[in-house]
Amino acid sequence: MPVDQCTALAGQRLALRDAATRIDAAAVAPGGDGVPSFCEVTATIAPGIGIVLRLPATDWNGKFVEVGRGGYCRPVVMTECDNPLRKGFACIISDQGHKTAGSDDVWAADNLQAKVDCGFRGNHVAAVAGKAITQAYYRRALRHAYFIGCSTGGRMAMVEAQRFPHDFDGIVAGAPPVAKFYNGIALSWNALAALDPAGRPLLTADDLRLVHAAVLAKCDALDGLKDGIVGAALACRFDPAVVQCAPRQASASGGAVGACLTPAKVAAVRRIYAGPHDSAGRQLYDGAPLPGSELNWIGAYLPAGDQPSIILASMTEMFRYLQQPARGPDWSLSRLDWDSVSADVDLAEAYNGASNPDLSRFKAAGGRLILYHGLADQLIMPNSTIDYYRAVTRTMGGAAQTRDFARLFLVPGLGHCSGGDGATVIDPLAALDDWVEHRRAPDKLVGAHLRQPPANPYALVRLPLDPGDVAFTRPAYAYPATTRYAGHGDPAVATSFVAAN
């Protein structure tokens, strides 16, 4: 497209329903590393939602994709559009209505408009504005519009399917916290369980390595292959008592690998596996990390030196500022009352929740939904997504009626959205596009494990992969099927695995 066709967009005002938009800037960028040159449009949707839209200058495929970011309404990071741009998609990301350079949640304190925009409005109006700008730029209608996101982006995806079923033809929701604040209750429980009653660190990284080794010894081969991956995590019945020190055994080692855990440490691990309960023993949220995820707890639940754990810090922020009303900067997570915490979060859940199982309007609009979740996820509890999909199945009239438009894939060894010991690099957007465009419903997602995984598990992996970079591939079958080694063939090749029920 000519440069002047891009720059001419700057300064325009679009009187869109519920999404009055001012285009602040538009300029052509050169691209690179397989990303084509593009027209980048920066705009503001009233009252203060920022969007950045990248429009391929050549070889547009006629399709539009919105990317929902992880975290909680974090700043726009446009590298997350690189893979869609390589495939010819127009791609947009929204800041959800507030500007921040960090990971704090102070922006939400007593700011109902920001909470509403971040909770459910922001992605909808970004879709309205983004599609209008895309069609104006190319001067033709869109063929299809998609949404893809993981973690909070997955929650945003489910908000779209439930509240705005006509925005997108297809949606990918990865590891969605469908009940964000209830998942926050579970994370708070886990972070506090890693501390002793005085608030000092109780569990160590070596403790969790010891527990993980014991989990592998018991459950690694349940999927027919002993390979260092807990493929059948849902079938794993593990009691950390197997690594508890005998009564006369010295426990001064602190739980080093090859040693044992004190009864207090075993009890802490059990609390994490069990999930949050009130004082009467009633479960507050049906979700806890699964066996096989223990190594991922190290970077999440455990304190880092003299600093609180990432989860302890982020959950403190959540309860201080994202609740309605906010608790304020002096409140501490240790003050949570497990007998009242569920009621405390209900109002905030009302505008953040994405747990409505009635997707009949989305299905009637012709929408297609791919849900996926890593079985080694430590931040969003896998069982919560399974429970949600089961509720959808009941509500939509059964398994066959649900599989017509919505499928869930559980990925062994995948941590939170990316990283882990399994075949964790997947391309659900490609599967969604094939389903929408060619009506080929995916029975499996084939993932890959890299020979040299990024040091940062959340680093963007360029797609498509170079086959020389792949250590092994493996399928994740549509739920309720699970993945099992066929008993013959190269275990590094996905075709050596079959679906099991």
Catalytic residues: 151, 377, 416
Compute CA 61 distance to the chain's CA centroid, rounded to the nearest angstrom.
27
Dist CA 152 CA 21 (whole Å): 24
Contact 497, 474 (CB under 8 A): yes
Distances in Å between the Cα of 227 and the Cα atoms of 50, 223, 265, 447, 493 are 46, 10, 27, 16, 13
Q: Name the residue with tokens 């559009």.
A: 81
CB-based burial, 429-463: b 16+ in 10 Å, e otherwise:
bebbbebbeeeeebebbbbbbbeebeeeeeeebeb
Dist CA 25 CA 11 (whole Å): 7
Please compute Rg for the chain using Cα positions.
Answer: 23
Contact 83, 460 (CB under 8 A): yes
CB neighbours (10 Å) of residue 341?
A: 20
Scanning 31-111, the segments in alpha helix (DSSP H) are 82-86
Dist CA 180 CA 128 (whole Å): 25
Assess whether the previous peptide bond of 467 is cis (omega < 30° from 0).
no
**200 φ/ψ angles, rounded to the nearest 5 degrees:** -90, 155
Scanning 14-75, the segments in alpha helix (DSSP H) are none
